[in-house]
Amino acid sequence: MKYSTKAGKLDELRTHCLITTTHTARSVARALGFEDYFDASSQDFVDKPGRTLLIVLPKSTSIRRLLLAGTGAVDELSPNDFRKVIGAVGGVLKGASFTDAVLAIEGFKVAGYDGYQKARVALALLSAQLYRFMASKQPDDTPTSQLTRLAVHSDLRSHANTGRAVRHAQALDTGMAFARDLGNQPPNVCNPTYLARQARQLARTPRVRTKVIDERELATIGMGAFTSVTQGSATPGKLIIVEYRGAPAKQAPLVLIGKGITFDTGGISIKPAAAMDEMKFDMCGAAAVLGTTRAVIDAKLPINLITLVAAAENMPSGSASRPGDVVTTLSGQTVEILNTDAEGRLVLCDTLTYAQRYKPKAVIDVATLTGACVVALGAHASGLFANDDALAAKLLEAGEYVWDRAWQLPVWDDYQQQLKSNFADMANVGGRDAGAVVAACFLSRFAKQFAWAHLDVAGSAYTSGATKGSTGRPVPLLFQYLLDQS
């Protein structure tokens, strides 16, 4: 989608569709001389959040359609109702037969939102609804949107602020689409080699460099936990590094780490067959950090960002890790592998240790790590764990701002005892209780040298059932956090 801004009088616009409130639409109709036509067309419209009405106007008008978005008889919408309004608009635009539209954003008054936030939230919601993945499908008879251009209208006083919101929304749209496309690719396409190839394409942009460390070198430098996961697959694992330099070299970088298990069978501790196809989404953490990086590059943010993707397949074979194996991590600590299906923390722990060499300002890892987090929070919130309260607060605030919410859970020392092992410094699982917390506590043992946060997105990164697919989360949260840092 191409986003832009427009200013000036609404009744002087030329567009295939003007999206606005009933009150503003009536004013436009009056100025253009077809108020009676508008009143007759909208007389049965129920003006409340979630309701819409598309009115086709006479051919003589420069505005060909009015899309009324119900708001109800209130001076200000609540943020929840605003999202409902924009969601209903997106439902109409998903089947749009026209190619351009204008959103008259100033007609929507939202409690607590300034113009910038209003535009950002609206465009993010529309982007999410208008996305479609068609890379591996033939065209069918399902109505598809013809909309390719959407402008946000504002008055001259707020035009610069709206323009900034649109630029950031455009960058986020590109990053979200990139992340969702990666997540939705089938696992016979999206493997560690494919992820590396996609990351290399980012380096075509100035100030970006990509490096890929292959499985043999990972073993050589001592990443024994990482390679214990990759050794069962015919496709070699890789540590993918994307460096974006948007600030002076002396400025400490922020580091994003993504779990990139491109397919997770569970290894020798094999998963049940039902819904195993969804384990292609086990790389959505990697997709999210790469999508966020793409958004940062497009927005030209003045920060230094290092993105590390731990890419591997977890497959059962004669060379795969066994329950009971003991491996040595890059940090020198040893891990007894009690469950080969707890592989994400194994690739992440070595990657966290690797991140120390960048002397980071903060490190954030993103992973579809535990089913326990889905049980705890469902699909509405990502699980947030951190060893730094200030970092956690900033991430929570960013998520609230763009409505990509997270909820903080503890990483108390009380839980660490569940990871005790008779044969190694720690086990990779700690029993059934508090599974998401214990997984985070495991990772925290490798993040003592820097401010660290862990986002468990097992419930939020993708959906099942009829709407099965990648959501792109938590790209909005991460991008907003990095915006705030810049």
For residue 235, give Cα distances in angstroms to 214, 260, 280. 11, 13, 15
Report pLDDT for 330: 98
Within-domain flag for 165: no
86 and 230 both lie in a single domain: no
Look up tokens 């889905």; give the residue: 374
Judge contact between 291 and 313, C-beta under 8 A: no
pLDDT at 357: 97
Closest to 346 (Cα-Cα) out of 413, 278, 427: 427
One domain for residues 350 and 389: yes
Nearest to 169 by CA among 94, 117, 95, 129: 117
192 phi and psi, to 5 degrees?
-55, -35
Residue 435 and residue 317 share a domain? yes
- The enclosing domain of 366 has a CATH number of 3.40.630.10
* Last residue within a domain, chosen from 120, 153, 186: 153
φ, ψ of residue 75 in degrees (nearest 5): -75, -35
One domain, residues 128 and 188: no
pLDDT along the chain (486 residues), means of 10: 91 94 93 91 93 91 93 90 96 93 94 92 94 82 82 86 94 97 97 97 95 97 98 97 96 98 97 95 98 98 98 97 98 98 98 98 98 96 98 97 96 97 98 96 98 98 94 97 95
Q: Is residue 289 part of a domain?
A: yes
- On whether both 132 and 212 belong to a single domain, the answer is no
Nearest Cα residue to 134 out of 167, 77, 169, 177: 177
- Geometric angle at alpha carbon 107, from 101 and 111, rounded to 5°: 125
CB 351 within 8 A of CB 238: no
254 within a domain of the structure (yes/no): yes
Tokens of 77: 């919408």
266: left (phi over 0), alpha (psi -120 to 50) or beta: left
d(CA 125, CA 118): 11
Give the H or E element holding residue 69.
Answer: strand 65-69
List the end-to-end C-alpha distance of the chain, in Å, as a whole number: 25
Grouping H, G, I as helix, E, B as strand and the rest as coil, residue 470 is strand
Looking at the domain assignment, is residue 167 inside a domain?
A: no
Phi then psi for 110, rounded to 5 degrees?
-125, 125
Active site residues: 271, 345
What DSSP character marks residue 467? G
Specify if 168 maps to a domain.
no
In a domain, 213, yes or no: yes
CA distance 259 to 286: 5
Is residue 25 within 8 A of residue 57, CB to CB? The reply is: no
Q: Indicate whether 57 and 196 sit together in one domain.
A: no
| Radius of gyration from C-alpha coordinates of the chain | 24
Does residue 347 lie in a domain region?
yes
Q: Residues 183, 147: one domain?
A: no
Q: What is each CA distance from 340 to 237, 264, 433, in whole angstroms?
A: 16, 10, 18
Do 234 and 98 belong together in one domain? no
Q: How far apart are CA 275 and CA 268, in angstroms?
A: 18
The set of residues, in sequence order, having a beta carbon less than 8 Å from that of 44 and lying 6+ positions away, is none
What CATH number is associated with residue 89? 3.40.220.10
Q: At 401, is the secondary structure helix, strand, or coil?
A: helix
Domain that holds residue 247: 177-485
Pair (181, 46) in one structural domain: no
Residue 362: which of 305, 424, 277 has the closest Cα?
A: 305
Clarify whether residues 259 and 368 are in a common domain.
Answer: yes
Give the CA-trace dihedral at 24, 26, 28, 32, to 10 degrees.
180
* Rounded CA separation 333/419 (Å): 13
The pLDDT assigned to 156 comes to 76
pTM: 0.94
Place of tokens 């969804």: 278
Cα–Cα dist 93/145, whole Å: 6
User: Is the residue at 375 inside a domain?
Assistant: yes
Q: Are 224 and 327 in contact (CB under 8 A)?
A: yes
For residue 218 the two structure tokens come to 């990972």
pLDDT of residue 160: 86
Alpha-helix runs per DSSP H in 378-474: 389-402, 435-444
Domain count, the chain: 2
Given 119, 153, 187, the domain boundary residue is 153
| Residue 290 shares a structural domain with residue 416 | yes
Is the Cβ–Cβ distance between 93 and 112 less than 8 Å? no
Q: What is the largest distance, in Å, between two alpha-carbon atoms of the chain?
A: 83
Shared domain check, 182 and 127: no
DSSP 294-326: HHHHHHT-SSEEEEEEEEEEE--STTS--TT-E
End of a domain among 153, 168, 198? 153
- Minimal CA–CA distance to 130: which of 158, 150, 107? 150
